[in-house]
Amino acid sequence: MNASTAHPLKPLSSLLDDDHFHDECGVVGIFEHPEASNLAYLGLYALQHRGQEAAGVVSTDGQEFYNHRGMGRVADVFSAKDIKRLKGNRAIGHVRYSTTGDSVLRNTQPLVINYRHGALSLAHNGNLVNARELREELERAGSIFHTDMDTEVILHLAARVDGKDAGERLAAALSQAKGAYSIVALTETRLIGVRDPLGFRPLVLGRLVESGGYVLASETCALDLIGAEFVRDIEAGEMVIISEKGIESRRPFAPVGRRMCVFEYIYFARPDSNLDGINVYNARKRIGHELAKLYPKDADIVVPVPDSGVAAAMGYAEATGIPFELGLIRNHYVGRTFIQPAQSVRDFGVKVKLNAMPSVLKGKRVVLVDDSIVRGTTSAKIVNLVRDAGAREVHFLVSSPPTTGPCHYGINTPDRSHLIAAQHSEEQIRKLINADSLGYLTMDALYRAMGSRETGYCDACFSGDYPIFKEIGAEERQLRLIKEG
Amino acid sequence: MNASTAHPLKPLSSLLDDDHFHDECGVVGIFEHPEASNLAYLGLYALQHRGQEAAGVVSTDGQEFYNHRGMGRVADVFSAKDIKRLKGNRAIGHVRYSTTGDSVLRNTQPLVINYRHGALSLAHNGNLVNARELREELERAGSIFHTDMDTEVILHLAARVDGKDAGERLAAALSQAKGAYSIVALTETRLIGVRDPLGFRPLVLGRLVESGGYVLASETCALDLIGAEFVRDIEAGEMVIISEKGIESRRPFAPVGRRMCVFEYIYFARPDSNLDGINVYNARKRIGHELAKLYPKDADIVVPVPDSGVAAAMGYAEATGIPFELGLIRNHYVGRTFIQPAQSVRDFGVKVKLNAMPSVLKGKRVVLVDDSIVRGTTSAKIVNLVRDAGAREVHFLVSSPPTTGPCHYGINTPDRSHLIAAQHSEEQIRKLINADSLGYLTMDALYRAMGSRETGYCDACFSGDYPIFKEIGAEERQLRLIKEG
Amino acid sequence: MNASTAHPLKPLSSLLDDDHFHDECGVVGIFEHPEASNLAYLGLYALQHRGQEAAGVVSTDGQEFYNHRGMGRVADVFSAKDIKRLKGNRAIGHVRYSTTGDSVLRNTQPLVINYRHGALSLAHNGNLVNARELREELERAGSIFHTDMDTEVILHLAARVDGKDAGERLAAALSQAKGAYSIVALTETRLIGVRDPLGFRPLVLGRLVESGGYVLASETCALDLIGAEFVRDIEAGEMVIISEKGIESRRPFAPVGRRMCVFEYIYFARPDSNLDGINVYNARKRIGHELAKLYPKDADIVVPVPDSGVAAAMGYAEATGIPFELGLIRNHYVGRTFIQPAQSVRDFGVKVKLNAMPSVLKGKRVVLVDDSIVRGTTSAKIVNLVRDAGAREVHFLVSSPPTTGPCHYGINTPDRSHLIAAQHSEEQIRKLINADSLGYLTMDALYRAMGSRETGYCDACFSGDYPIFKEIGAEERQLRLIKEG
Amino acid sequence: MNASTAHPLKPLSSLLDDDHFHDECGVVGIFEHPEASNLAYLGLYALQHRGQEAAGVVSTDGQEFYNHRGMGRVADVFSAKDIKRLKGNRAIGHVRYSTTGDSVLRNTQPLVINYRHGALSLAHNGNLVNARELREELERAGSIFHTDMDTEVILHLAARVDGKDAGERLAAALSQAKGAYSIVALTETRLIGVRDPLGFRPLVLGRLVESGGYVLASETCALDLIGAEFVRDIEAGEMVIISEKGIESRRPFAPVGRRMCVFEYIYFARPDSNLDGINVYNARKRIGHELAKLYPKDADIVVPVPDSGVAAAMGYAEATGIPFELGLIRNHYVGRTFIQPAQSVRDFGVKVKLNAMPSVLKGKRVVLVDDSIVRGTTSAKIVNLVRDAGAREVHFLVSSPPTTGPCHYGINTPDRSHLIAAQHSEEQIRKLINADSLGYLTMDALYRAMGSRETGYCDACFSGDYPIFKEIGAEERQLRLIKEG
């Protein structure tokens, strides 16, 4: 065990940079199954698209807690021997993605601590917007921190509040936290699932029919793999406590109305998942239909930017009758990193993932469909690839509205100054990415595709309407937006 | 460097089991580029679909030879430091797939040896059918073997024959070998590419426009990634010798007529590659058109088994007008291995890769398109998944003729006794995989899709017409076929 | 970074088993040297005998803290690259030995935390006897623990107390701790060294002549290797604070009189170290002289049990004139573990380390000198080895008094029930180890060798006189002793 | 198994540099024991002093051969799992030391090959002086080489010669080799041991009393650890073949008279080993007695340079009556490498291993005893250390004659131009190492200590009398000596 973790430990000031607290993640929890850790591992396998940087599982037999975490993909982090060592009938798991320099073993989840009430383990998907303030307060009161993660802030709060059981303590801790969180927690006797009052991130409940056990997971695709039956979505603001007595549902927070992240449907979730009752693949196809209504092009073929643009491109082709073609082929074996030659290969960064086919594209008027434009540089390279392969025209359709603001609720987007749509007009963007035409989805069309706006979604990255800051009050929000703008 | 290779070293008898010499592979060669090893590495990256078990690169600066090989995917085997250590302007690389127990570091390529004429390195895609006999002869003459690979047999032959240069020696060695080989070889001063007289496996030549250098690769997709211009396919029976004087083409073998592997088009090659002038994606779509003519179904949706069935399914949908839908979602993050729970999850092996969507499939009459049926067990599980998701009917179309024989030329297929189509009628297979109907591509339809039968293809796995054995003589072939049957 | 730490996380009850808090360690600190982490690493190299299980270094450039820790020996834990990453002019380091199951990466030092006053890093040699109580109190107040180490208890205390600087806070924290500690601590601006009021464990101050910097280390041998000049021992109860302003000495604790561990001289420290002014090698030779006075044997040769018995045996030989011979040869390449055959080799455990030479021992009357007898089993095996090699008589002399009690102050000894001298008379022990005669050092002889008893030593493991418990009060001590007896 | 071996593969010319073929090694073989690989591993453990760079074991169950090799010490290379995988009742093992750049996994032993007669595994201690010629001849005949080792040359020869069994083939192969070799070899049914006609390197035979099996090992200390009984030394020019029928002794080479390496006694072998009937520790002590006769000094203390100077210093002290003191303490935890600070610490390279004690040396006239002076730089640093610690006079005695020539028979010494005694007079050396006086052992004194010159020793590194070259003929030797001089 020669493992080592040489890394700069940031002093307080640098730790509070907003970027550190952004992370996309997936969580899973298993209650009462003889192979709990194996099922948790498989759940993470199915949720791998939510984070490929690190993975971990904590299990318990009701007495001891067992822990295995590592950097990399689920398949690389766990061996059969590791799974075997993770004893007990209950387990929680976590996959994590992060682009910051603090991609270190120390910052992997689930965390597990010993405190006055025993042991508590926690895995968290989301982002606390007041993590900085809470951390400062806790440090003033004598808490010491070992990681940079929001998760540790929640654990410190839980160790200091009162409550007659772990559920109450976790609720009391979370009532001080503002932001997005879908959490699974494990104690000696309970598996707990919580979704923040606005329900930004998904969390579903499933049932292991044979063992009579329960599963919590970020998405339904995890239930499918382990053969669990979908029961229902955990609701915004709900806490479920699963113990030997069964499932108890609590409502520890004041109701404020659901604000599920709409970008989960557009890009982040797996197409075969159903989130709050809506199938992701079908939603994307309907978005394609809406794009067809908004931008009926006189074109020869519709080509998706794979994989996230596929379903919307299929929807567009279906609605317009223009043939759907795979003019860009994706290399699915691409690892997390590759070694780039010093001497530049033109558009290398995109070529490693995508190859354009002249035999499909040559001489064609092409409708290209992608999920979003963030910085614009990748989109420009993709348009170049398609033109180099001989396309006569390239019409770039985007299956989301312009991304004009960062996400504070758990998706890692750059700040406003790097968002092309926050800095440029659509016509400027069209020129910058060298497309013949450019069409974004409109907000109205988005919600037609989603069925209804009224269900309650967070679309802050498109609309600037940040639900938490509205709740906190205009003044404080002002403060933050100035800093970011 | 605590690496170790504990493994059973097979005594002679067990080494000669046919299975050992079957391997699917990809090769690449770079001549004269300041970052030769980095380009070789990127070429392997693009050829990763041809072998995920092991990868290696050998480079030379004209004096020393540098070598890095490892088990696993290209991205995992090489670090930036490894690439840096692989000095010199010339390099060859290899990716390998094998299902045998001898998946060990020792059996990775390229091999590099020292012999009386200096150093010689070799990477090989294909399979020698007389490797056993050659090896026995060589051992009788005093050769000693360190690996189980055909590649070492070729090197031993090259070390013993005469010839005025490395090209002549390699040709003399290969004239004793029977079977399939596309080879790249590296000496102190030359990069050599050879394709066997029948040209079973592909090999293409590209040009690095800026450096004026050359590239050899199994498929054109490798040229695309490193920004090399496609020059031409190496022809069946051709040897090209690339040196500082330029390219020399030789014809060391008696002409016997091209027999390119047709299964490369159906399944093995990447869709964005062009093999001997034919684009793979387009060929697969045309196969879909042929299936539509053969099996026009009264169905609601066409669903591919991803990824290899996608283009054929698109072709079928295009020709029939039945909507194309992604009713099966593939998990692209699946590693080479996963840890299976002891208590069985129904159809687990297939579920790890594929998830069926009720929201797409429920109540539908489904045309399912896959590239082939080998043992039949996987196909049966896939039909089950689709039915469990609510499909009303499942019509299974196969984008190749029935697989009735093993491949002796480099693709790893089980022997006849495990091939469902060698043992059962189509109606029996339909029942075994639980489909409402089953339709295979016909040989005639296959060659309509390929443009012409006359170009010369190997279709031995469908037709039983093994070109080498025909050449060798009916008698010897009989011998082998009895053994296998 | 695929490193992982699968291990049972003990719930509170099992964490409090006394054995967990026993650990022998070495510490080092460097202030103001451009290669601080390299010097810290070399200091640990010299202190390797104090702990071979784990090693770590934390450095700082005044802003960031850098951290590298690993399981194993110093030479295995650190690469040149690791050292390079440990930036800054100040560093502390730690080596650790432990025989418990919790020999995991998580439990390595130095620890580094973020708290309200910035960052604080700490490395600790010793053992707190009230760690259990402090931990319980801290958890009641909301602290959460990530490790099983006393060191974390001290950090939690420091995070909660007041004080105008890190020195005051550390002193306030330590004033609540009872037990043995020699500590080096690092903040953004200061290197701090503290020795507990009784000064159980050694700690010395050195000076880097060229850079004008300072060194703290467990033993003088660490100063010698890095070319530092010995300045003085840190005194019992003293705290030194090294900053850019120089060295400040504080006396934060009430004076109680020095009680330096006498076993450091007999066994634990390196012979070339000087502890509190006394050279270890010379002390051991004087102990040999005392043994000669107590037990003048009619023997042919004096043979040490290498390495710890060598100096005392030389002293005995010198005083008696009996020839000194190396009849037992030690294998210095022995690793921390070896793989034992299932089928037993007689006296295997001892043979791996020691080989007896018939050519020296055959027919001889042998005086065998070892440093101590703990469980007695090893001594019995050694006597056997010597007899099997042909010795006619074996007289076993021990360079310490009978070990009748465990150490609570940082040396890992088994509890009373496993100490042969706590359970048996000397004559019984002689029989059990199969010696012709047995002679222990007496307490009086020990202190004659040490120069004076008055200087103040802890000899609790021989005398039962536990300084801390005396201080705490007879009642509490009773409690503990019953539990242990 | 991500292990990789990036290294320059030397073309022929550079491979023939003499340095490559020098290596000090240890070998072991086990025949018929249920834990053969574990015993082989333990034998290597005991022989670790003969090579710390790499280790390997090959075992067989009579059908399959199993192989585990790695870089580093025995304890680091093998896990219990590795040992378990090395099945079968027979095994051979090898430890290797080398200072060349080719310290790579590829160059570790035992080698195992498949050839026409089955499998053959070989481990070799020594050096072939005609390896270059043999290799060239073999390559001309079509052999290809995968390693740089002499061992592979022997295997190639064995694969090409005739003979009715493996023993005859190995003998026929070795009859073409000139130089030093003590070999253990393993076939499906036999364990073979051979010592070259001059018997340069040791090889002993032992018996496993309980299992009735046999052991071959470089030194008797390996027999001691695994509890095997010493039977006898394998004689110069003898081959023993151990099979189920028992032991057969053959004399395949013409007798030329024994020339055992005398430096094994002075430095290389472990003190507890008996080589050809002489105990190493006693021989060293007798050398000390001889030094006392040659150089009776008026000194206060005798101090050895540990560990190899200890026994000779004890002998000197015993004979002169001058007290023996450990004034230099060796750090036994020193790994194979350490990270040196850029800013120099005076005499750092020596300080990492040795610390001088002022409390022993201050004001003293010191006789310092070391085994040899090679380049002189280390000796100079040691004298400096001793003077810096306060010694008044330093008299440097060497327990061997001046080293004036390199070894061609398996010990890694620099060439003549780097040997201080080949370039300078004794008085010049004394000045260079800054000693008050310098005394080398004489050849006559050496052989008085060894008992007799007539037994037959190789002392070429002292005398220039290279037995092989004498045998080969003056002319050829001339050739070589010019090259080296």
- The 3 state secondary structure assigned to D337-394 is CCCCCCCCCCCHHHHCCEEECHHHHCCCEEEEEECCCCCCHHHHHHHHHHHHCCCCEE
Across chain D, what does the average pLDDT equal? 88
Contact assignment for B119 to D67 by CB distance below 8 Å: no
Single-letter amino acid code for the residue at A399? S
Q: Does B63 touch chain A (CB under 8 A)?
A: no
* Bridge-based pairing state of the strands D260-261 and D457-458: parallel
Helix or strand run (H / E) with residue C303: strand C301-304
* Bridge-based pairing state of the strands D278-279 and D274-275: antiparallel
Considering only CA atoms, which of D400, D405, D403 is closest in space to residue D445?
D400
Across chain A, what does the average pLDDT equal? 88
Query: For chain B, how far is it from start to end, CA to CA, in angstroms?
Result: 46
Contact assignment for C42 to D352 by CB distance below 8 Å: yes
Q: Cα C16 to chain center, whole Å?
A: 21
Contact assignment for B139 to D159 by CB distance below 8 Å: yes
Picking from B282, B323, B339, the nearest residue to A359 by CB comes out as B282
Contact assignment for A326 to B310 by CB distance below 8 Å: yes
Contact by Cβ (8 Å): B369, B313: yes
Considering only CA atoms, which of D356, D408, D342 is closest in space to residue D387?
D356
Which 153-212 residues of chain D touch chain B by CB within 8 A? 155-156, 159-160, 188
Considering only CA atoms, which of C435, C437, C430, C459 is closest in space to residue C447?
C459
Nearest-5° Cα angle at A462, A457 to A465: 60
Contact assignment for C48 to D333 by CB distance below 8 Å: yes
Residues in contact with C160: Cβ distance below 8 Å, sequence separation at least 6, in sequence order: A142, C138, C141, C143, C173
Chain B closest CA to D413's CA: distance in Å? 25
Question: Which positions in chain B touch A225 (Cβ < 8 Å)?
Answer: 345, 351-352, 355
pLDDT band at residue B482, thresholds of 50, 70 and 90?
very low
Considering only CA atoms, which of B49, B58, B55 is closest in space to residue B29?
B58
Residue positions of D annotated with a catalytic role? 25
Chains C and B touch (3+ CB pairs under 8 A): no
Picking from A144, A159, A188, the nearest residue to C114 by CB comes out as A144
Q: Does B368 touch chain D (CB under 8 A)?
A: no
Side-chain-facing half-sphere of C403: CA atoms under 13 Å: 25
Assess whether pLDDT exceeds 50 at residue A99: no
Contact assignment for D311 to C324 by CB distance below 8 Å: no
| Mutate: best of A53, A275, A331, A350, partner B, most B CBs <10 A | A331
Which 112-131 residues of chain B touch chain D by CB within 8 A? 112-116, 118-119
Question: Which positions in chain D touch B109 (Cβ < 8 Å)?
Answer: none
Contact by Cβ (8 Å): A265, A289: no
Contact assignment for C143 to A82 by CB distance below 8 Å: no
Where chain D has pLDDT below 50, the residues are 1-22, 99-103, 474-485
pLDDT at A476: 46
To the nearest 10 degrees (0 to 180), the angle between helices D280-294 and D443-450 is 140
pLDDT at B87: 94
Chain B closest CA to D340's CA: distance in Å? 21
Residues D415-425, buried b or exposed e (16+ Cβ, 10 A)?
A: ebeebbbbeee
pLDDT tens-place string over residues B280-303: 999 999 999 999 999 999 999 999
Find the closest chain D residue to C359 by CA distance. D279
- The beta strand positions in A32-77, using DSSP E, are 54-60, 65-71
Q: Does D63 touch chain B (CB under 8 A)?
A: yes
Contact assignment for A331 to B42 by CB distance below 8 Å: no
Question: Which positions in chain D touch B72 (Cβ < 8 Å)?
Answer: 1-2
Chain A closest CA to C59's CA: distance in Å? 9
Question: Which positions in chain A touch C156 (Cβ < 8 Å)?
Answer: 142, 144
Contact by Cβ (8 Å): A253, A170: no
Task: Give the residue-averaged pLDDT of B389-400.
Answer: 98
pLDDT at B16: 27
To the nearest 10 degrees (0 to 180), the angle between helices C131-140 and C150-160 is 50
Considering only CA atoms, which of D458, D350, D367 is closest in space to residue D405?
D458
pLDDT at C73: 87
Question: Which positions in chain C touch A5 (Cβ < 8 Å)?
Answer: 1, 3, 67-69
d(CA A90, CA A68): 14
pLDDT at A342: 73
Chain C closest CA to A478's CA: distance in Å? 27
Contact assignment for A332 to B274 by CB distance below 8 Å: no
Read off the tokens for A3.
């493992």
Contact by Cβ (8 Å): C395, C295: yes
Read off the tokens for C114.
């973020």
DSSP reduced 3-state for C288 = helix
d(CA B36, CA B49): 22
- The beta strand positions in D371-452, using DSSP E, are 393-398, 437-440
Contact assignment for C225 to D355 by CB distance below 8 Å: yes
d(CA A26, CA A30): 14
Chains D and B touch (3+ CB pairs under 8 A): yes
Find the closest chain D residue to C39 by CA distance. D341
Find the closest chain B residue to D73 by CA distance. B2
Chain D closest CA to C158's CA: distance in Å? 34
Question: Which positions in chain D touch C72 (Cβ < 8 Å)?
Answer: none
pLDDT band at residue A210, thresholds of 50, 70 and 90?
confident
* Minimum mean pLDDT range among A27-36, A235-244, D21-30, D458-467: D21-30
pLDDT at A421: 95
Contact by Cβ (8 Å): A477, A460: no
Cβ count within 10 A of residue C278: 19
Query: For chain A, how far is it from start to end, CA to CA, in angstroms?
Result: 46
Q: Is the peptide bond before A323 cis (omega within 30 degrees of 0)?
A: no
Question: Which positions in chain B touch A334 (Cβ < 8 Å)?
Answer: 45, 75
| Mutate: best of A226, A345, A354, A385, partner B, most B CBs <10 A | A345
pLDDT string in tens for chain C (485-residue length): 333 333 333 332 222 222 223 357 999 999 999 999 999 999 999 999 998 888 999 999 999 899 998 888 898 899 888 899 999 999 999 998 764 434 456 678 999 888 889 999 999 999 899 998 999 999 999 998 877 788 999 999 999 998 999 999 999 999 999 999 999 999 999 999 999 999 999 999 999 988 899 999 999 999 999 999 999 999 999 999 999 999 999 999 988 889 999 999 999 999 999 999 999 999 999 999 999 999 999 999 999 999 889 999 999 999 999 999 999 999 887 665 667 777 666 777 788 899 999 999 999 999 999 999 999 999 999 999 999 999 999 999 999 999 999 998 888 778 888 899 999 999 999 999 999 999 999 999 999 999 988 889 999 999 999 998 776 554 443 433 333 32
Chain A closest CA to B333's CA: distance in Å? 7
pLDDT at C250: 97
Q: Does A12 touch chain B (CB under 8 A)?
A: no
| Mutate: best of A146, A147, A153, A336, partner C, most C CBs <10 A | A146
Question: Which positions in chain A touch B307 (Cβ < 8 Å)?
Answer: 332
ipTM confidence: 0.89
Assess whether pLDDT exceeds 50 at residue A466: yes
Chains in contact with B, where contact means 3 or more Cβ–Cβ distances below 8 Å, are A, D
Helices (H) and strands (E) in chain C, counts: 20, 24
Contact by Cβ (8 Å): A434, A384: yes
Q: How far is CA C288 from CA C367, C374, D301, in A?
A: 12, 19, 18
Find the closest chain D residue to C50 by CA distance. D333
Q: Which residues pair with A357 in a beta bridge?
A: none
Contact by Cβ (8 Å): A204, A233: yes
Contact assignment for D351 to C314 by CB distance below 8 Å: no
Read off the tokens for A93.
């798991």
Q: Is A160 exposed, middle or buried (0-12, 13-18, 19+ CB in 10 A)?
A: buried
Question: Which positions in chain B touch D86 (Cβ < 8 Å)?
Answer: 6
Read off the tokens for D33.
């024991």
Contact by Cβ (8 Å): C148, C100: no
| Mutate: best of D48, D301, D339, partner C, most C CBs <10 A | D339
Rg for chain C, CA atoms, rounded: 23
